[in-house]
Chains A and B, each alone.
Chain A
Amino acid sequence: MELRQLLIVEGINDLHAIQSLIDKRGIKLKFNHENYIRSAGDVDRAINLFGQALNNPSIQNVGIVIDANSIGIYKRLNKLKAFLKNNLPKERFDKLQIQKGGIVVVEENMPIIGIWFMPDNESKGYLEHFLAKMIPVENELWQHVLKTVDELSQKDFCEFKEKEKQKALIHTWLAWQKSPGLPFGTAVKSGYFDVNSPSVEPFLKWFENTFLLT
């Protein structure tokens, strides 16, 4: 069956984390959802793939999830737009503007376009910042993780760089669970991240708007 809905993400961790979140929240996908999420490998490849999907007239909904990283959402969007210049008519192109709840462009006879910048369409950061918000702040283990990683980052023998600190935090959190070291997707399924955290609501809303699930 022909693919009509497509969600493009950067890496395999993003894919599994998002897939598990959607599954665990019981979101009903009203389309052929076999392999509808594809991980491109990195941000450039994700953007390239997004362009390919926009060029394909059988695609009806296409979303992309990319990290704001340390360069931030505006530069990320500009990068995306620079690549898409030849893929989109000007009217659509101009509608690609940062929105708090993620970008969704809906027009008749056109594919619905969704763009989400991890973690929240505002802050710098990446998937691990999004996941961190799914851990209850008052959780004692999490408090301990925060304290420990923070202390470590002051030491001379600390290997990770400051901008990677969030990754160290999340991996430490997962290392100290009952089943230590689960990958993100499985960890979401196992409840090590709270899928009912209010922090995920904007993302789910964006997802539903992009894939017309409401």
Chain B
Amino acid sequence: MLKDLHIQNYRLFEDFKMKGLGQVNLIAGKNNTGKTALLEALRILESKGDLSVISNIILERGDLNRHDSESFSTLFTRKLIHINRDASQLTIELGDTIKLSREVKESDYPTYFSIVERGNGSPVRNNLKTPTDGQYPNDKAVYIPFSNDKIRISDFWKKVVLTPLEDQVHEIMRVIEPKIIRLDIVDNNAKVRLENEINPIPLKNLGEGANRMLIIALALVSSKNKMLLIDEFESGLHYSVQEQLWNIIFEYAKKWNIQVFATTHSMDAVKSFFYVLEKEQNEGMGKFFRLQRSRKGQIESIKYDEKDLELAIGVKLDPR
């Protein structure tokens, strides 16, 4: 489990620290304080700088540029980046920990990246295609973006269907609709069979929240011993189910050793997180952080433990 995090020169983080991370971490903050960027950095960290992951992040942000050096410099800011261009090789060094390079070809695009060196200086050959070639990013963490449309639930489902994990997914989904008997996903479309119904119905008929719940359920059961990153926890979820969902997340995080990082804008999400954190069996498991611009303009994190959060919610001093 990650205990502390230190990010330098990634997007808007100059020198950013988070200390005392928990098993389940909820991250709030105003717009443009780096909540999504934090999840990106964790993806990169978990994949040890895998280029398919980095490329996927650039692609998702719509920053993909014909010149990779420019795309990369939208992520890795300031002087730690060194771009060496010679006839055949483009090398980007991220500080002294990760060095990336790609071959420069005539056709040039889509491109081929490889990590040439890592940390201790030992060379690593790990050629990967960019996702523009139809490949998936080689994430080690499980990542849920805020927009449900961007998620290919079929890919999650393939690994879950006809395994015991399927039962777990059904169980989680019954929080939203107790009548669900089973579900199936074909071509990214989920259908459910409900008690006393002859024909299956599309999951989306159960509301926007059902879709989000399914995504989180699939991600959760796929995260054993991994990191689970959820961008905008509350997206589409009615507040009444948020507390139940936190219950489930805390339960799985504990029994399957999942470290969860979720971002939020919503006070309901913070409150429901706190109510679940307050339960005896979850004591000390969760941490709340607010990302903010300090008075000097740098992004920093403020940690709240249970006691701090209880007080802030109690006196209505908004912790977000």
* Partner-B contacts on A (CB < 8 A): 3, 6, 35, 38-41, 45, 48-49, 52-53, 55-57, 109-110
Contact = CB atoms under 8 A, between A and B. Distances in A.
Given A3-B317, A38-B315, A39-B315, A48 B293 contact: no
A109 B295 CA distance: 7
A49 B295 contact: no
Interface string B151-183: 000000000000000000000000000000000
Nearest to B312: A52
29 contacts: A3-B318, A35-B316, A38-B315, A38-B316, A38-B317, A39-B315, A40-B311, A40-B315, A41-B311, A45-B311, A48-B307, A48-B308, A48-B311, A49-B312, A49-B315, A49-B317, A52-B308, A52-B311, A52-B312, A52-B317, A52-B319, A53-B317, A55-B302, A56-B302, A57-B292, A57-B293, A57-B294, A57-B295, A110-B295
Given A53-B317, A56-B302, A109-B295, 20 more contacts: A3-B317, A6-B317, A38-B315, A38-B316, A40-B311, A40-B315, A41-B311, A41-B314, A49-B315, A49-B317, A52-B304, A52-B308, A52-B311, A52-B312, A52-B317, A55-B302, A56-B292, A57-B292, A57-B295, A110-B295
A102 to B, nearest CB: 22
A110 B311 CA distance: 24
Q: Taking each of A6, A52, A109, which has the highest tally of chain B beta carbons within 10 Å of its own beta carbon?
A: A52
Contacts of B319: 52
Nearest to B318: A3
Interface string B298-315: 000010100110011011
Nearest to B297: A57
Interface residues of B, number: 16
B271 to A, nearest CB: 16
Interface string B88-107: 00000000000000000000
Interface string B43-60: 000000000000000000
Nearest to A48: B311
6 nearest CB pairs, A to B: A38-B315, A55-B302, A57-B295, A45-B311, A109-B295, A57-B292
Interface of B: 292-295, 302, 304, 307-308, 311-312, 314-319
B311 A49 contact: yes
Contacts of A53: 317
A31 to B, nearest CB: 16
Q: Taking each of A3, A55, A109, which has the highest tally of chain B beta carbons within 10 Å of its own beta carbon?
A: A55
Nearest to A51: B308
A52 B316 CA distance: 12
Contacts of A6: 317
A52 B312 CA distance: 8
Contacts of A45: 311
Q: Taking each of B304, B308, B315, which has the highest tally of chain A beta carbons within 10 Å of its own beta carbon?
A: B315
A109 B297 CA distance: 11
A14 B49 CA distance: 55
B267 to A, nearest CB: 14
A35 B317 CA distance: 10
Nearest to A35: B316
Contacts of A56: 292, 302
Contacts of A52: 304, 308, 311-312, 317, 319
Contacts of A40: 311, 315
A29 B146 CA distance: 42
Nearest to B309: A52
A91 to B, nearest CB: 14
Nearest to A58: B292
A40 to B, nearest CB: 6
B177 to A, nearest CB: 38
A39 B317 CA distance: 11
Contacts of B304: 52
A38 B312 CA distance: 11
A35 B312 CA distance: 14
A3 B304 CA distance: 19
A16 to B, nearest CB: 15
A110 B295 CA distance: 7
Contacts of B315: 38-40, 49
Contacts of B295: 57, 109-110
B18 to A, nearest CB: 14
B310 to A, nearest CB: 9
A49 B308 CA distance: 8
B32 to A, nearest CB: 14
A74 B295 CA distance: 30
A109 B293 CA distance: 13
Contacts of A41: 311, 314
